[in-house]
Amino acid sequence: YKVTLEYTKAVYEGAPLCPSVVVKSSTKASAVTLVQGVDYTVEYVNNDAPGTASVIIRGINAYVGSITKTFTVNPAQVTGLEITQVTHNSVTVCFDPVPGATEYWIYQGSTRKAKIEDTTYTFTGLTIGTTYNFSVKANTNVNGVDYTGAASQTISARPSSSIESYTLTLSG
């Protein structure tokens, strides 16, 4: 039998993923395409979160045996990345949570600075007048394997010594 899945990589966005299945009687050009529900059944396993999902195809009626195919499910891309605070030596960013992600990888330029579970992070030890680029990737670790989404858009900030606003109170 030759089994083909509609896709072998997918992005989890909060709903189970069910790629369509095509089953042929052989790999030859004269192969017959089998019919789901008549010649075989399909079962999806672990298809509702990032990780490795399985599709189990079981022959019925005139067809016997089973074939298991797998596909990779990664978290979605982080969105909503924004700067919430800039000081003389730090920048704080926040972003929207990603369905199914268990952690976030925080980048300063191309260097991963941290793994966090929250959706806010403060970069410290920065230099006044230097422009820094920041991005985030959602990640899920399943049995020691990382399933990582695409990087967020990159945002930039430059720590400054200037005072943005202040309040002056006079007494006397």
Quick check: 171 pLDDT over 80? no
Amino acid, single-letter form, for residue 3: V
pLDDT tens for residues 75-98? 999 999 999 999 999 999 999 999
What residues have CB less than 8 Å from 167, skipping those under 6 apart?
none
pLDDT value of residue 166 = 46
Supply the pTM of this predicted model: 0.82
User: 123: buried, middle or exposed (CB in 10 Å: 19+, 13-18, 0-12)?
Assistant: buried
DSSP string, 143-172: TTEEEEPPP---EEE---SS-S--------
pLDDT value of residue 163 = 55
